[in-house]
Amino acid sequence: MEKICLFPGTFDPITMGHVDVIKRSVSLFDKLIVAIGVNTSKTPMFSVDQRIAWIKEIFKDYPQIEVTSYTGLTINYCKEVGAQYMMRGIRYISDFEYEKAIGDMNRLLAPEIETIFLTCAPEYSTISSTIVRDVIRNGGDVSQIVPPEVRV
């Protein structure tokens, strides 16, 4: 059976922390689906199409990585694409507490899908998409915290 993992997020924009987690987790699975969750109650800075294009360009040399978007419950999307695993990146203990609560709920909804937590490299632990967006809005240089493909 093919091991398929979903790595969901908003990736608005994708950061070096996201890239770190993706590159370190890709070898664990036959297919890694990087899935942009679309939340209609949020207004992202970058379009879904732009975010997909960036991620596809960043990982163009990784044939086992697929990039897509979805709406609704992430656990339902896992079922839809046949993912037996869901990868979640952790920066701080507060991330773990939040992600564990979601993982526990997902286990109740779909016990056949395992949530895996992967900590990001220490040099990326302070980077979040929220901070990156703030730097961009205020005209700052984000070249050290986003991949070179993300040109804003």
Residue-averaged pLDDT of the chain: 94
What residues are paired with 147 via a beta bridge? none
pLDDT tens, residue by residue, 129-148:
999 999 999 999 999 999 99
pLDDT at residue 106 tops 80: yes
- Which one has a higher pLDDT value, 126 or 69? 69
Domain boundaries, the chain: 4-137
Q: How far is CA 44 from CA 1, 3, 47, 59, 100, in A?
A: 36, 31, 7, 22, 25
What pLDDT shows up at residue 100?
A: 93
Q: Do residues 105 and 73 lie in contact, with contact meaning Cβ atoms separated by under 8 Å?
A: no
Mean pLDDT value of segment 99-108? 95
pLDDT at 41 (0 to 100): 79
pLDDT class for 151, splitting at 50, 70, 90? confident
Q: Catalytic residues, which ones?
A: 18, 42, 91, 129
- Please name the fold of domain 4-137: Rossmann fold (3.40.50)
